[in-house]
Amino acid sequence: MIHAQPQGFLAVPPGGTGSGVLVLHAWWGLNDTIKNICAHLSEAGFVAFAPDLYHGKIAHTIPDAETLRDALDGRYLQARTEIADAAKFLDERTGGGIAVIGFSLGAYYALDLSISDPDHVRSVVIFYGSGVDDFSNARARYLGHFAENDPFEPQASVEHLRESLERAGRPVTIHVYHDTGHWFFEPDRTDAYNEQAANLAWERTVEFLKQQ
């Protein structure tokens, strides 16, 4: 029996079936950008689900995003449970394990899920986010997309993540995109969006996911 769909956004391919991809939003919340990413994933043949970790709230400015992020940090264990429930729902619906894509704040939770649920998380894609050190319990493959100029995620953090994954024996590929900053993949962040880098990151992501 498949559990009830958690709060969030579900996108299904025309054929109704496909591999599962869990999408974890950035600190802006479950906005149209994340929903569009899910829709594009479904067009590529995946069943995509993005849980709403902010329960209906969306930030449009950095101060508002910081407020929502801080509130989520205050209920960190609840957030982890909600993500685990979303992963279970998606895996029950699709079978065969899932992939996880995390953006910034969501990247941390994506990495965390790959450690806490190694039996179901087969692939992880992260966009400009890290924060996890010990991957000894993980079984996933990893693909990372990072910006060259990113005060939120400096190159030292990127290298630390790479070294941590390699130390655990996990397959990892990390791309750093020239002349980009944080949020370069998100078209609604007009001050940061880089269409060329975003398109390349998307092509690499779909190719990686299809290898699952």
Residue range 122-134, pLDDT digits in tens: 999 999 999 888 9
Exposed, middle or buried, 70 (CB in 10 Å: 0-12/13-18/19+)? exposed
Given this model, what pLDDT does residue 95 score?
84
Task: Name the H helices within the chain.
Answer: 32-43, 62-74, 76-94, 105-116, 155-167, 195-210
Kindly indicate the confidence band of residue 2, based on its pLDDT and cuts at 50, 70 and 90: low
- pTM for the model stands at 0.96
Q: Which pLDDT score, from 0 to 100, does residue 7 have? A: 94
Tell whether the model's pLDDT for residue 3 goes beyond 80: no
Residues ≥6 apart with Cβ < 8 Å to 65: 26, 27, 28, 29, 59
| 126-136 core/surface letters (b: 16 or more CB in 10 A; e: else) | bbbbbebeebe
The rounded percent of the chain whose pLDDT value lies above 90 is: 92
Cβ proximity of 122 and 114 under 8 Å? no
Both tokens assigned to 145: 């997309």
Could you give the domains of the chain?
A: 8-210 (3.40.50.1820)
pLDDT the model gives residue 1? 57
**DSSP code string of 12-71:** --TTS---EEEEE--TT-S-HHHHHHHHHHHHTT-EEEEE-TTTT----SHHHHHHHHHH
pLDDT at 212 over 80: no
- Mean pLDDT score, 153-168: 95
